[in-house]
Structure 1
Amino acid sequence: MDTIQRFLFKDLDIRGQHLKIDQAWSKMTENRGYPDSIIALLGELTAIAIMMANGMKHQGKVTLQVQGQGPINLLVVEVTHDLKLRGVAKTNQTITSESTMDELLGDGQVMVTMENTQTQHHFQSFVPREGDSIAEVFETFFNQSEQLATRLWLGANRDTLAGVMIQKLPGTDHRDEDGWDRVLSLSNTLNTEELCSCESQELLHRLFHEETLELFESKTVMYECPEDKTRVELLLKSMGEEEVRQLLAEQGEIVIHNEICNYHLRFNEEDINQLFKPELNS
């Protein structure tokens, strides 16, 4: 099941999220040929993007992007308010599975973009690269941006993406001064295998069965990356008929690769004739 689940420690004033994504994650990464190190890094970034989108109170999307001069020169994940996701990793050299985050990203900067499609406004923020993993980087970001102590446990393999976030709300210490440390100790027993194999209720019960936990309605996460041929046709028209026909003559056909969705659109001579067909006056 591709779901994200919110939960609350009712007696402790601690909130959390758990997600486990199988089909949507497999569709996003299929036929990409990513090594395990990219799977892990892109998976962590995707999990965080889903958790952030799950908290949106307006229509829009969350985009997390890492761009730099390392072996991975681009990581980008987009998740809409209704939890439709897509994303890609681009590399400029062969990568080994033993590479660390800093080795993979080099000086790559992490950026968060929050878009509101209703007001056409967006918010952008650079995320400090503090930590040895994407999880640690965003723990610092949430601590600073939301003023809430935050911990993340994330894991990804070729079949599954999973994660747990917990956040300490302002009233936690007044409710139970040992509650936060107790929940952290229980959560720190998590490993990648357990994260990726257990469904939400099973995992949360295994970890926190001695606490009073309220589970909210789970939400479904989907992969969505439809072919947008109309946009490509508008792009070709904007290039002008002469330039497009010259490109067609040189290559035999025009092939447009959508990198984030990993599909190709092909245009032969008949397609180009139709594209630049004179419009009849009414």
Structure 2
Amino acid sequence: MSDFDQLYRFLIDRAHVRGQLVRLQDSLTEIVHSQEYPVQIQRLLSEMAAATSMLTAILKFEGEISLQIQSKGPVNYAVINASHNQTMRGVARWDQSLPSLPDSLEALLSQAVLVITITPDKGERYQGVVALDKPTLAECLESYFAQSEQLPTKIMLMTDMRDPEQVKAAGMLLQVLPEDASQSALSRGNEFEHLVKLGETLSEEEMFSLPVSDILYRLYHQEKVELFSPQPVRFSCTCSRERTANALRNVDKTELLQIIAEDGAVNMNCQYCHAEYRFDEIDIEAIHAGNFESSAAKQ
């Protein structure tokens, strides 16, 4: 089994630190190649995908989580949606009139915020907003955990863009477990910083070439590391003919029938997977009468 498109959880027992390590390849293909994205946007979406995958494992819930960037810079919007069972999708919008895009995050985004939305299957929806005012996405996410969870957290995000047809992304997250009475915050903090410094010695070449078990041994062979069974990560879009019909229910029927008169049908295209859904006059009448029966097939 390939170590790619897998999320690994691990626990460093003595230091009371939990970790996540994810490497993505095939699961990124539908995201970064859904449009003719410049390499800078492919890199941004890849980092966001790795980060989102790890966040779904840290947050104990069943449901969905999204990382959404809103910006006034060359990239004005980017989002990755993921579920607790590690399915994800994503899209970005940028100023296509520009001849080229800058490479740095700070130049790519301007007056930007990162909106983290957690939507559990049961319970209330939660939303947090983080300023994208640091050089890297990883540092901005660390600020989120410092503010919201108040737990020391280290996030490392890497991308391999050498093969445009097989873009790769990886991430590793270390986080101190909630403190208990058996260990002081000072000693725990010192141990965590030591583990972080060891993690920072990991090169991109090692991250993308070594088996995950070898990576953890290379970094933490002096620690007792418990590595759990991986969880597969894959691309999946949640669009459907029924969901699209529900959206059309909020559009004035007269307007929809006028589109049909001019174009022959109302054609809807999913921005994530580009599935197309076609609705004729009978469909529109049924949608607004509340008795539309959807087909499971994408048209």
* d(CA) in 1 for partners of 2:94, 2:245: 28
| Contact kept in structure 2, 1:72 and 1:90, CA below 8 Å | yes
Q: Which residue does 1:261 correspond to in 2?
A: 273
Which residue in 1 is equivalent to 2:114? 110
Task: Tell whether the 8 Å contact from 1:172 to 1:179 is kept in structure 2 after alignment.
Answer: no
Moved over 4 A (4+): 172-178, 277-280
| Aligned with 2:285 (options 263, 276, 280) | 276
Instruction: Report SS of the residue matched to 1:86.
Output: strand
Deviation of the 1:241 alpha carbon: 4.5
User: Deviation string for 1:88-138 (max 9, x for gaps)?
Assistant: 11112337364211221211211111112213x111111132420100101
Aligned to 1:136, the other structure's residue is in SS state: helix
Q: Which moved more, 1:136-145 or 1:185-194?
A: 185-194
Whole-Å separation in 1 of the counterparts to 2:274 and 2:106: 26
Asked if 1 retains the 8 angstrom alpha-carbon contact of 2:265 and 2:281, the reply is: no
Tell me the SS of whatever aligns to 1:103. Answer: helix
Deviates more, 1:13-22 or 1:149-158: 149-158
Q: Which residue of 2 aligns with 1:48?
A: 51
Task: Note closer, same or farther for the CA distance 1:274–1:37 as it changes in structure 2 (3 Å cut).
Answer: closer
Partner secondary structure for residue 196 of structure 2? helix
Aligned-residue offset at 1:227: 4.1
Unpaired segments ≥5 residues, structure 1? none
2-side partners of 1:97 and 1:205: how far apart?
Answer: 39
Instruction: Please say which of residues 133-142 and 143-152 is displaced more in the overlay.
Output: 143-152
Q: TM-score, normalised by structure 2?
A: 0.81
Question: What is the alpha-carbon root mean square deviation over aligned residues?
Answer: 2.7
Match of 2:251 in 1: 239
Q: 2: distance between equivalents of 1:181 and 1:125?
A: 26
What is the letter of the counterpart of residue 133 of structure 1?
T
Aligned to 2:10: 7
Matched, 1:17 2:29: no
Equivalent pairs, count: 276
Long gaps (5+) in structure 2: 292-299
Of 71-80 and 142-151, the range deviating more from structure 2: 142-151
Q: Map 1:79-94 to 2 at 5 A.
A: 79-93=82-96, 94=98
2:204 pairs with 1:192: yes
Worse-superposed segment, 251-260 or 145-154: 251-260
SS in 1 for 2:119: strand
Identity %: 28
Aligned position for 1:72: 75
Query: What is the rounded CA distance, in whole Å, between the counterparts of 1:45 and 1:250 in structure 2?
Result: 41
Alpha-carbon shift at residue 279 of structure 1 (Å): 10
Aligned CA distance change for structure 1 residues 250 and 146 (closer, same or farther; 3 Å): same
